[in-house]
Amino acid sequence: MLNNFLSLFLKSNCPLCQRSADPIICRYCEQKLLRCQLTNYKQFGQPDFLLFSWGKYDNYLKKAIAKLKYDQNKVLGELFGNWLGEAWLKSGNKKKYPRLIIIPIPLHQDKLKTRGFNQAELIADGFCQVTGYKMKTNLLLRVKNTEAMFSLTPEERKKNINQAFSFGKDYEKVNKSENILIIDDIYTTGTTVNEARQLLTKGKLNTIGVATVSVTKS
């Protein structure tokens, strides 16, 4: 009885609408987000590179990702990672890839200081909680403080991200025979992911694909 009474006061507010939430977001926002979820996770795949996304980047999911990145709502990162991991298991990919090294797309140190966290790392952590994979946060480093991509042309995007990454201290420790999966929040044109993949390939590491919370492709 006492625990039930106290729980009424200990519940936090939903980071998306400020209603009472249990445990992270309220039921209303959960339902709104689940309407953005994809039902066919293979529709964006390529023969030699997997693109696995939980949902479509529009409506409520777009708003929620913005809340995560710009309003310090870090709990949403873990939640999205959990949902992405559950979808990964449901798709059968864990059986196909029982062992993977998970690499979140890194932020440049300047942006990390400003934001206080890397949203891709939070998502990757939630993803690993569900799938049991191991994450390497220092295998890739972002050494170039790139501009925001949304307003750039395809050519400007390529120039912006060119040589943006380098290897970190985890590179020497990693098992080169294990496959890698990149994690990010949004997949748009794939410019950032392709740049990271190229460097990993040069380092004799095999990247099987990228898993993201959302994708902008129709």
Q: Is position 59 within any domain?
A: yes
Within a domain: 190: yes
For residue 200, what is the domain's CATH number?
3.40.50
Q: What is the pLDDT of residue 8?
A: 46
Query: Which residues are CB-contacts of 3 (< 8 A; sequence separation ≥ 6)?
Result: none
Q: What is the DSSP letter of 148?
A: P
Cβ distance 180 to 206 under 8 Å? yes
pLDDT of residue 98: 97
What's the predicted TM-score (pTM) here?
0.90
* Residue 6 belongs to a domain: no
> Quick one: 216 exposed, middle or buried, by C-beta within 10 A (0-12, 13-18, 19+)?
middle
Is 176 within the bounds of a domain? yes
Residue 162 lies in a domain: yes
Per the domain annotation, does 46 fall within a domain?
yes
Give me the pLDDT at residue 43, please.
65
- Specify if 48 maps to a domain: yes
* Cα distances (angstroms) measured from residue 25 to each of 62, 147, 183, 185: 16, 31, 23, 18
Overall number of domains in the chain: 1
66/62 Cα distance (integer angstroms): 6
* Residue 167 is assigned to a structural domain of this protein: yes
Token pair listed for 214: 């959302």
Give the pLDDT of the chain (218 residues) as one tens digit per residue: 434 443 444 568 899 998 887 788 999 999 999 999 998 876 676 778 999 999 999 889 999 999 999 998 999 999 999 999 999 999 999 999 999 999 999 999 999 999 999 999 999 999 999 999 999 999 999 998 876 766 677 787 888 788 899 999 999 999 999 999 999 999 998 999 999 999 999 999 999 999 999 999 75
- Residue 83 belongs to domain spanning: 40-215
What pLDDT sits at residue 150?
Answer: 67
